[in-house]
């Protein structure tokens, strides 16, 4: 017996690494030392920092992968993977430096996983970070044919005195919501249940190729595979221009009610007016098709707001103008109030 008879093709693995080498090189930063293929990736700290602090994050894409695998389209989930990690560390004010990925599959399918890495490199380019390395694990019998899983890991840097941790936030500060690109990468267990089981006249469930009227000609699959918005460059640009951003929140699993309070300081709450931004059609369709209660929608999905920056009142207009100029719709959605750490005002629409 040999390894290939056991289901692991070592030569295919080597060929896959050679195939993606050029993609990885596109994300290279000056601080990267060496090339792809070592046991570890080396990265020199950038200069100019007095007290540099490294900020790390890790995440996956969740059951959105089931949709990518069902539609045999794998590039967008690579962007999702990067976005979920770098948007998280961005909330501390950190610039992403490098990213690593872990891909696991039952049997290596080079074209499939090359699409994933293509998406990862696109995400790294959008975030300005290097794809420093990764791991591809072939595990026969662990995953069904055509299935794979991905995880991502990123490291960023911020000056110690500039870390955003909630301590700078003040009562009266304004919450500015930055538009999401859609469902992003959370809530897909509910999404898949709605699509598969929603009752309708004459049948149960929907096909990914269907084009509901609400989506204006876009198929369900296309709308739901839209990758997560990366907020890194517009937000870092705002910080470097001196806009008075005092806290930030990435709106992921748990929606606004769970994530927005995470950036508050002691004895603070936040009130938002849910009528201050348009809810994208994909959320309207999910709510209607699945007969989902509005509080459940807000507790599961981002509902059109993927990232929130909280600014001093005097900086609100400049912040809105900045993000609009960067091509991201921004909405003044609420303000910080005295309280006990809760989000007030959500599911009343």
Q: What average pLDDT does the structure give for the chain?
A: 93
Residue 225 and residue 324 in one domain: yes
Instruction: Look up the CATH number of the domain holding residue 75.
Output: 3.30.1330.10
Residue 215 and residue 136 in one domain: no
Distance of alpha carbon 227 from alpha carbon 118, whole angstroms: 13
If one compares 271 and 24, the residue with the highest pLDDT of the two is 271
Residue 139 and residue 178 in one domain: no
| Residue 31 lies inside a defined structural domain of this protein | yes
| Residue 29 lies inside a defined structural domain of this protein | yes
High-pLDDT (> 90) share of the chain, % = 83
Residue 109 and residue 214 in one domain: no
| Residue 146 lies inside a defined structural domain of this protein | yes
Residue 200 and residue 344 in one domain: yes
Residue 157 and residue 186 in one domain: no
| Residue 169 lies inside a defined structural domain of this protein | no
Residue 206 and residue 64 in one domain: no
| Residue 167 lies inside a defined structural domain of this protein | no
Number of structural domains (the chain) is 2
Q: Which residues constitute the domain of residue 188?
A: 174-348
Residue 20 and residue 85 in one domain: yes
Phi, psi of 143 (to 5 degrees): -120, 145
Residue 135 and residue 232 in one domain: no
Distance of alpha carbon 55 from alpha carbon 250, whole angstroms: 15
Residue 190 and residue 213 in one domain: yes
Residue 185 and residue 77 in one domain: no
- State which of 10-19, 140-149, 172-181 shows the largest mean pLDDT: 172-181
**Does the structure show a pLDDT above 50 at 334?**
yes
Phi, psi of 158 (to 5 degrees): -150, 145
Domain boundary among 162, 188, 220: 162
User: Three-state SS across the chain?
Assistant: CCCCCCCCCHHHHHHHHHHHHHHHHCCCCCCEECCCCCCCCEECCCCCCCCEEEEEEEEECCCHHHHHHHHCCCHHHHHHHHHHHHHHHHCCCCEEEEEEEEEEECCCCHHHHHHHHHHHHHHHHHHCCEEEEEEEEECCCCCCCCCEEEEEEEEEEEEHHHCCCCCCCCCCCEEEEEECCCCCCCCHHHHHHHHHHCEECCEECCCCCCCCHHHCCCCHHHHHCCCCCCCHHHHHHHHHCCCCEEEEEECCCCHHHHHHHHHCCCCEEEEECCCCCCCCHHHHHHHHHHCCCHHHHHHHCCCCEEEEEEECHHHHHHHHHHHHHCCCCEEEEEEEEECCCCEECHHHC
| Residue 1 lies inside a defined structural domain of this protein | no
Residue 146 and residue 213 in one domain: no
pLDDT value at residue 5: 67
Domain boundary among 128, 162, 196: 162
| Residue 5 lies inside a defined structural domain of this protein | no
Q: What are 112-165's pLDDT values in tens digits? A: 999 999 999 999 999 999 999 999 999 999 999 889 999 999 999 999 999 999
High-pLDDT (> 70) share of the chain, % = 97
Instruction: Look up the CATH number of the domain holding residue 322.
Output: 3.90.650.10
Domain boundary among 112, 131, 162: 162
Beta-bridged to residue 137, according to DSSP, are 104
| Residue 53 lies inside a defined structural domain of this protein | yes
Phi, psi of 80 (to 5 degrees): -55, -45
């Amino acid at each position: 017996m040999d390894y290939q008879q056991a289901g692991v093709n070592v030569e295919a693995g080597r060929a896959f690494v050679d195939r993606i080498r050029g993609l990885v090189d596109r994300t290279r930063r000056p601080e990267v030392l060496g090339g792809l293929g070592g046991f570890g990736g080396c990265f020199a700290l950038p200069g100019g920092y007095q007290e540099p602090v490294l900020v790390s994050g890790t995440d996956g894409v969740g059951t959105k992968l089931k949709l990518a695998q069902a539609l045999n389209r794998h590039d967008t989930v690579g962007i999702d993977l990067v976005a979920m990690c770098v948007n998280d560390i961005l909330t501390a004010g950190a610039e992403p430096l490098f990213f690593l990925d872990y891909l696991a599959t039952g049997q290596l399918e080079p074209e499939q996983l090359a699409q994933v890495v293509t998406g990862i490199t696109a995400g790294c380019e959008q975030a300005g970070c290097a794809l420093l390395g990764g791991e591809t694990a072939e595990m026969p019998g662990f995953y069904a044919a055509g299935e794979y899983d991905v995880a991502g890991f990123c490291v960023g840097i911020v000056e110690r005195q500039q870390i955003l941790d909630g301590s700078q936030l003040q009562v009266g500060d304004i919450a500015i919501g930055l538009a999401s690109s859609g469902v992003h990468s959370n809530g897909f267990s509910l999404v898949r249940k709605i699509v598969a089981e929603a009752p309708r006249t004459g049948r149960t469930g929907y096909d990914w190729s269907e084009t509901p009227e609400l989506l204006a000609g876009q198929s369900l699959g296309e709308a739901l595979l839209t990758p997560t918005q990366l907020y890194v460059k517009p937000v870092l640009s705002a910080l470097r221009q001196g806009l008075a951003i005092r806290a930030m929140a990435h709106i992921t699993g748990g929606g606004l009610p769970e994530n927005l309070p995470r950036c508050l300081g002691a004895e603070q709450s936040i009130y938002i007016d849910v009528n201050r931004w348009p809810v994208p059609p994909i959320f309207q369709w999910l709510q209607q098709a699945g007969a989902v209660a509005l509080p459940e929608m807000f507790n599961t999905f981002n509902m059109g707001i993927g990232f929130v920056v909280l600014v001093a009142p005097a900086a609100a207009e400049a912040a809105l103008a900045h993000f609009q100029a960067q091509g991201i719709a921004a909405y003044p959605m609420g303000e910080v109030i005295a309280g006990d750490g809760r989000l007030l005002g959500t599911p009343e629409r």
